[in-house]
Chains A and B, each alone.
Chain A
Amino acid sequence: MDTCKHAAMARLVKLNTRVDHIKEQFFIRNRIAEENRQRENAAAIQIQRWFRGCQVRAYLSHLHRKATVIQKTWRGFTARKHFRQRVKTAYFLMKMNFYNEMAVKIQQRWRGYYIRKYVHNYYARKMYLEALAKKNEQIRSELEELAEHQRRERARAAMEKEEQEKSAQAQRLHFLLSTKQCPGVFNSPFRPEPDEMELRLRRVKPLRVRSPPKQARPSNQQPSAALLSPEKLPPIHKTPQGPFRPAVEVWWQRQRPLEPSLRTATSITALEEAREELRRHEWRTRLIDQPFLPFTNAQQNRRYEALLHTASPYQQSEYGTKHFREEERGKLQGKKPFKTVFTTCHVFDKFGRLYSSAGKIV
């Protein structure tokens, strides 16, 4: 410690010796410092500025780099996310479109089917109308054919009938056929060619007039010699000459049964028969046979007793009481009493009425 105190005392002493110098030095140095201070300060600021600038720039660039990294990462992340989303959407859309397309296909098939089936089918209608037109044609032609057939049938029947009538006429008029010697009415010599009827007459065979059917003669007549003879003489003419009606027709007319009118068909004795029937009926149904006799005037009820000479026990003669004409009862036996039957003969019904004397129809 003492050494220290001695050193310090030494130094203080040394220093005391050099105080002036120091003072001087102090001022000198202070001045110099004062002279350089401005410059040095500017320099220091320059240095600091640069340094600080470098420092901050380095920091900023560092920050920028970090930010870029962050940004890059984030952007990548979001972009990927977005992309994934878009892909998803696109896929979904694609699917939707596909489904829609398919649905449209199904719908169009179904709608087509449904409409065609239940609402309207254009082709079916067209086909139907075509088929209908064809069917119509067919029906028309068939009906036309049928009508034509019927028409022909009718015409044929009419023609046949006419032909038949004409030939019947020709048969009846066969006697008008012209001969070599004299021309017939239908073969006028003043005409170039004979009438159609003439040709027909030539073609047609005359009616064969057959003899009427033989009838068994009533047995009470004497058999004639002609009938008994086995072979008859041949007839002179095969057919009778002249405008005779066919024998069959004549025979039929002769043998025609009576065709009484309604009036004549009624029995003329209808009244009598009815009266007879009534009487019988009364007799049958009568309960008391004895007639009722009134009894007030009993003598009137007595029966009339005939005189002896007018009454005979056998038979009263009716002559003089009922008739005055002589009757041969025996001869009339078996003969039916005469009855008036009012048959009219049709042939003479119109006699004298149809034709007047002048030959005109009344």
Chain B
Amino acid sequence: MSQRQVLQVFEQYQKARTQFVQTIAEFATRPQNIETLQNAGVMSLLRPLLLDVVPTIQQTAALALGRLANYNDDLAEAVVKGDILPQLVYSLAEQNRFYKKAAAFVLRAVAKHSPELAQAVVDCGALDALVVSLEEFDPGVKEAAAWALGYIARHNAQLSQAVVDAGAVPLLVLCIQEPEIALKRIAASSLSDIAKHSLELAQTVVDTGAIAHLAQMTLNPDAKLKRHVLSALSQMAKHSVDLAEMVVEAEIFPAVLACLKDPDEYVRKNVTTLMREITKHTPELSQMIVNAGGVAAVIDYLGDSRGNVRLPGIMMLGYVAAHSENLAMAVIVSKGVPQLAICLVEEPEDHIKAATAWAFGQIGRHTPEHARAVAAANVLPKLLGLYLDTQCSEDLQVKAKKALKNILQKCTHLPGLEPLLYEAPSNILKHVICQFSKVLPHDSKARRLFVTSGGLKKVQEIKAEPGSALQEYINAINNCYPEEIVRYYSPGYSEALLERVENYQPA
């Protein structure tokens, strides 16, 4: 046997391995192949190839593994159980940048599925290796490492804390400052994932000076980067007043409103979320946003968008209105009520309706003027309809009821209250009648209208238990009218009259 013949065997073997790994990697991109691959025992075959002598084969094997693990959590678990992670982590520190990228991809794919898998990734010491890769020169490696860290951190506070403890945050902040857009995006998203869990984590991120860098990028033309940056800012601002103030102090405010007109839907949503997280803390912060014209912009945004992305906007209006009557008035002046009424009608989903009902409750609960603005938009019958609709979720019903109660207790706008007289159940009717009994004694025009519109008749038809609050209110209304009017409208009056005719003896 010549040397060439011997070597040819090796060559063939190497060629076959390469081809195998490449084909598997190719197949793993299509979801329909995954099950077949899994049944064929691809995991146990790929594992030794990770230790192959040829770097290309190693990389491609890692790539294939990553794609498989990316597909579902069973496969990711198989990767964990196959003890592949320690090899990857070990080689993450040793190998070249292509391999690092592929290894980080596998780690990300595994960590993405569940907290347990992410914990497994952490347990095999991946964090340190990933953090070291963040210091790599190659932006691709940094990106892959930042991505993996973000996926690990997004599950819960513990994992996030582990990422922070590994010292990833300052490096991620450095990554934000890199010129590559993709790296910036991923780093911002990772920071967002870290900051979202708790106040301490957010504080850690803020302490590294991330806000200033993030704030600079809010006007970047790249839509995806803006998404992540705004999401990171909102995750930081949501925990405490101090952090929210720090975000505001970065002077993002009138400028960031321009993002509300961005063509990208998620950019708009994240801006609104950011504003919601800031406004929910204190009246002063809300006032700041209101003064910057944020409320009007958000109301316009509600008009422009459909579906779930409206939710933060609706909640933001609710939070602003909840703080003080002045701010609620600002929402009304900015024409927020008609827009919210449109949302209440248009949106099919219960949770959005619930948020809208809550926002209405917050707007209308301050003074009669506020309640009048809400009632004039013809919202009360809709809220009542939601409360009475048995197909609505329980949460929505509770919210609608609370909102109705809040508004009704302040409402003196009788034309708005009138429809409720005919439809409301007794627990709502109580508040409606109460408002009538407060207003009617002082307003002669309203008394007249109340009779002509048939309200008085309806009131006479209500069966209230004697001694109850409802009966008292009814009595108070009856006292505003001459007795014969009251009797005229009482049910059964015609029979009583006829009876009198029968009993009458002509002299």
Residues of A at under 8 Å CB distance from B? 125, 128-129, 132-133, 135-140, 143-144, 146-147, 150, 154, 262-263, 265-266, 268, 270-272, 274, 340, 342
Contact = CB atoms under 8 A, between A and B. Distances in A.
Interface residues of B, number: 33
A136 B293 contact: yes
Contact of A271 (B53, B60, B326): B53
B260 A143 contact: yes
B11 A133 contact: no
A139 B254 CA distance: 9
Contacts of A268: 11
24 contacts: A129-B329, A129-B330, A132-B334, A135-B291, A135-B293, A135-B296, A136-B334, A139-B257, A140-B293, A140-B300, A143-B258, A143-B261, A143-B297, A146-B261, A150-B263, A154-B263, A262-B59, A263-B18, A263-B19, A263-B22, A266-B18, A271-B7, A271-B10, A272-B7
A136 B7 contact: no
B11 A266 contact: no
Contacts, number: 70
Nearest to A337: B4
B333 A271 contact: no
A41 to B, nearest CB: 96
Given A136-B296, A143-B257, 10 more contacts: A132-B334, A136-B295, A139-B254, A144-B261, A146-B258, A154-B263, A262-B59, A271-B53, A272-B7, A342-B15
B282 interface: no
A211 B221 CA distance: 41
A272 B7 CA distance: 9
A90 B258 CA distance: 73
Contacts of B260: 143
A138 B293 contact: yes
B430 to A, nearest CB: 31
A140 B302 CA distance: 13
Give the secondary structure class of B's interface.
helix
Interface in B260-307: 260-261, 263, 290-293, 295-297, 300
A133 B54 contact: no
Nearest to A148: B261
A132 B15 contact: no
Q: Which 7 A-B pairs have the closest CB atoms?
A: A139-B293, A136-B296, A147-B261, A266-B56, A263-B18, A136-B334, A129-B333
A125 B334 CA distance: 15
A268 to B, nearest CB: 7
B291 A132 contact: yes
B170 interface: no
Contacts of B329: 125, 129
B72 interface: no
A262 B61 CA distance: 12
Interface in B56-94: 56, 59-60
Contacts of B261: 143-144, 146-147, 150
B297 A132 contact: no
B182 to A, nearest CB: 21
A139 B53 contact: no
Given A138-B293, A154-B263, A271-B14, A132 B53 contact: no
B55 interface: yes
